[in-house]
Structure 1
Amino acid sequence: MMKAALYVRVSTMHQIDKDSLPFQRQELVNYAKYLLGIDDYEIFEDAGYSGKNTDRPKFQEMMSRIRAGEFTHMLVWKIDRISRNLLDFTKMYDELKKHNVIFISKNEQFDTSSAMGEAMLKIILIFAELERKLTGERVYSIMLSRAEKGLWNGAPMPLGYTWVEEGETKFPVVCPDEARTVQFIYDSYEELRSTMSVKHRLEANGISTKKGRTWTTKTIADILRNPFYVGTYRYNYREAGRGNKKPEDEWIVVEDNHESIISKEQYEKVCSILDAQKRGRNVTRTSHIHVFSHLIHCENCGKKHIASIDRPRDGGYRPSVYRCFNYVHSNKAHRACGCAIGEVKLGPFMLNYLANLVRAHDDAKLTGKTEHTEKLLLQGKLFKEIAGIHPEDLQNIHRVFTGSTQDILFDKIEDEGKNIEKDFTLDTLKEEKKKCERAMQRLEDLFLFSDDAMSEKDYLVRKQDLKTKIDNINKKIKDRSVEYSKNLPGHDLSFIKKATQYLLAQNLLESKHIDYNKLVMTMDKQLLKDLMLSVISRITVRENKQIASIEFTNGMNHRFVYRD
C-alpha cells in the first residue's frame, strides 16, 4: 500500500509568495491524490527554518519515519525546500534509495520512479560531487597557505602544549607541567636507549599520557621523532588519517616557528640513536600466521591479546601464544593483569567446538530438545571443565537452530548491550487483533444477554466477518514475525555453512575429536585463519586460561559456565 510524505518549508513566518506553506501544501496534496493516486499521505511543515542545512524538527521526524519503512513516496515542491546545499540533498537521497522510497520534486518534475527522473537526479548528484571536490581543493589550498605562514590548522594537541584563545597568535603554547614530562621522556631515552624502558619508567613514576591513557612504545617514539618540540612546524607530512609519508618536496616546514621545549642538539642526538637502533633491527623475519590474531580479548581489562611465537614443539611445530596488551606493555612490577593463552590449548578447543556446533545445528531440528543441543555442543574431553552454557544463550542458540522465534519477537532484546527495537508494525497488528477479539466478545454478549437481542442470522454474519478479520490479522502477524526475526541476534547462520564446508573439506566431521596440533602441521594455516575470521568476531579469555565466551559473526554469543 502506498503512503506519501509531503514536505513543505518556508524561510520566514510571513512568506506569502508562491512558495508559501498553504500553496506548497495544496499543490503537493493535489499531486499525490490526482497524479499518483495516493490518498494516504502525511504533511510535514517547517515554517521559519532556513535551507542552509537539514537541522529542522519536522524534516528529521519525517526521515526517522522513512527509515522505519512507513512511506513509499516523498514529495516536495522544489529541491531547495530540502536544502540549498547539494551535499545535504545527496545524503538524503542515498537514504531514500536505501529504503526504496520514490522521490518527487513537483517544480523540477523529478520523479525517480521513471528513467528520465532518475537520470536528471544523477546529473544533480554529479554536480554535488564536483562541488564537494572543488570545495576540498579550495580548503586544502587555504590550509597550505596558512601553514606556510606558520599558522595553526588544527590537529591533536601535542603533549607539552595547550591552546589559549587569548592573544593575536592562534597557536599552541607551552604547558609547563606537560613540558616537564616531554623533557623527562627525552632525558630518559638518551640514558636508557629503549622506548620500552622509558615506558616502564613513566609508569613507575605514575606519569600518564595527555589523555590519561596507558603509554605505548609507539607513543613514546612519536614524541621523540616530533620536530614540533624544537620549534619546527611541519605540515602536509603524511596522507590523511596518519597514512603514508608524502614526498619530502610536498612538506611544509617552518623552523623556529614557536616556543620549543627540547634543544635542537638533544633532538638530533635522540634521532640518531633511534636511527641506529632501527638499522640494527632491519633483519629478515620469517612470516608466521597467527590463526586467532585480533580475535582474543582479556576478560579482566577488555584489551586485545597480542600474538607472538611460542617455543618449538615436537616435529618443529611453532605454535602462537596470545598475551593481553596490558601484560605485554607493562613492567612486571606494574602489570594490571597476566592474561595469556597458547594456541596449543585454544586451537583444539575452538576447532572442536565449531565441529560440535555444526553437528548440533543438524541435530536440533530432529530432536527439538535444548538439553540435547547443549550436550552436543560440549561433547568431548576438551569441554569436561564446563558445566554448561549460560541459560539465556542456550535458549537463543536452540531457538535459532530450531527456527522457533515465537516468544522473542515482540519484546526488546538485550544482546551484550545491543538493543533491537520493537517492531511497531507488529505491535499495531497485535492491537488490531485485540480490538477484534473484544468486538467478538461484545457481539456474543449482545446476542446472549441484551434485551434488544439481534437475530441469529445477524449474529452469525457479524461473527463470521470478525473471525475472517482475525484470521487475516493472524496471517499478517505470522508473515511479519518471520521477516522481523531475521533481524534478531544469531538469525544469520551462514557462518555455520562456512564452517561446514571447511570441516567437510578436511574430512573432520566424521571424527569425534579433531587433533588440531597435528592438523596445523599438514595444512595451510591461512585457510584455518580465514575460517576463524569469517565465523568468529570475539573470543574472551580469563586469566586462568579458560575460554569465557565466544561471539560469532552473526551476533550469537556462547558464554560458558565452568565447574569450581
Structure 2
Amino acid sequence: MKKATAYARVSTTEQSKTSIDGQLDTIRNFAKFNDIKIIEEFWDKESGGKMSRPNFDIMIENAFAGKYDLILVEKIDRFAREDIEATLLIKQLEDAGIFVMSVLEPADVTTPSGRFQRWIMLGFGKLEREIIADRTKRRMRDTAKRGYWMGGIPPYGYKTVEVKDNEGRIRKKLEIIEEEAKVIRKIFELHADGKGLSAIAEFLNNNNISTRKGKPWAKTTIYDLLKNKKYIGIYEYGKGTKRNHHSKNSKPLIIENVIPPIIDKELWEKSKKQFRTPVRISMIRNYLLRGKIFCAECGAPLVGNGGKKTMYVCSNWKSRKGDHYVGISKNKIEKHVFLYLKHLLIDNRPNFKQIANTFNYLYKTKKQSKNRKIEYIKNTLEEKYEQRKNIINAIKKGVMIETLTQEAKQIEREIKELNLQLEKLMQNVYFEITEEELEHRWNNLTEMILSDDEDTLKELYDLLIEKIEVASDGYIKIIDKDIL
C-alpha cells in the first residue's frame, strides 16, 4: 500500500469558496478508493508571500526524508500558486521518488508554463553542473589575470617558482631558464630569416641540442613553439583544453605583461610573416541538422543530397530500400528550425527571479533534511560504537563468547552501512543559485542563436532539439529536448 500525505491550502480571500475540510475530504475519499494510506495531513491558510507556508515546508522536508510515496492535493494549484514553482517542485520530488497527485485533475500534472521554461526547469541538474563549472572557471580566470601559472608543464624556456599571493596562499609563476631561452631565440631568428620547420629541426639536432626530454626536435614541436605567445609575455588562458591544447576557444582570456618575455615583439612579427596561410576551397556542405532530422514515413534518417539544389532526403529512398520519396530543401528546413528556436529564445524570456527563488527554497529544504539525516546517523553511530565497546569488554572477560561474537559482527555490519550512508549524504552539496546566473545561461543561448557561425548553431540545435520529422506532404514536426 502506498503511503501518502494530504495537503490543503486556502488564501484569506477565497475561504468562502473553498474550505480546508472540503479539500481534505475529497483527498481522503480518493485515497480510500485507490488503496492509498494517508499517514499525515497538512494545511495552510496563506495570506502573505509566496514562501510563507510553514506546514507546507514541514511536509516537503518530510517528503525528502522518505516518509511518503505520494503527496495528494485536491488540485495542483493547491500545491503551488505559480506554474513555474509547481513544475520545479514536482520535478525535484519525482527525482527523489515522491509523486504529487492531483485528485480532481488528469494524471499529467505538468503545468502549462511553456515548453521553453520547462526546458530550463526540468534541466536544472545540467544547469546546476554548468553553474558550478562557470564559478570554477571564473575563479581560475581571476587567478590567471594575476599572472599565476594555472597548472600543467611549463613551456620550453620556462620553469615554475613558488610565490605567495596577497592572501598568503602558495601560487606559481613562470620564470625564464636562460639556457633554454637561448635556444628559443635561435629558433625564432632562424625562422624569421626564412628557414623552414624541417630545416630548423635539422639545425638543432645536428648541433646536439635536444628537447627538454632529451629527444630530437620535430617540425611539429617547432611549429607549436613558434605559435606560443608566452614567448612575448602574453598569457592566453582558456585557449585550449587540458586534453587538447590545439582546440580553439573564440574568447580566451588574454593577459599581457604577466610572463617574462624571451623574445621581443619585432622578432615575433618577423617570424609570423614567414607563415603562409594556404587558400583552401572546400566543396563540403555543412548539413546543420545531420543526425537530428528523420523521415516521418519510415523513421530513417534524412541525409544530405548534393547537386544543383541541396536537399535532405530519406536515406532509405536514396539507397533504394524504400519506394516513398521524402525530401526537403536544405535552406528551407534549416531556416525553419532557426526561426523556430529564435522565436522561443527571444519571445519567451522567463522570470529569472521567480525561478531562482523557487530553486533556493527547494534546496534549502533539501539541505535541512540532509542535516537532520546526518545528525541522526552520527548519533546512531555513537550508540553502535558504545555497544561494540561493551561487547568487546564482555568478550575479554569470557562472558557468553559465541553469542556476543555474533552480535559484534552484526554491529560491525551496521556501523559499516551507517558510514556508507553518511559518506553518501556528505557528497550531496547544495548551493544557492542567483537570478543573474540563470539570466547568464539564458543569454548564452540567445547569443548562440544570433551567431553567424554554423558550428555554433549546430551546437545549439544539438542542445535544444531531440529530433525533427519531415512527412511526404512537407509537414515538419520539431520535438524539443526536455533538458538544456
Instruction: Give the TM-score of the pair, scaled to structure 1.
Output: 0.28
For CA contacts below 8 A with separation 6 or more, give which structure has more relative contact order: 2
Instruction: Give the TM-score of the pair, scaled to structure 2.
Output: 0.32
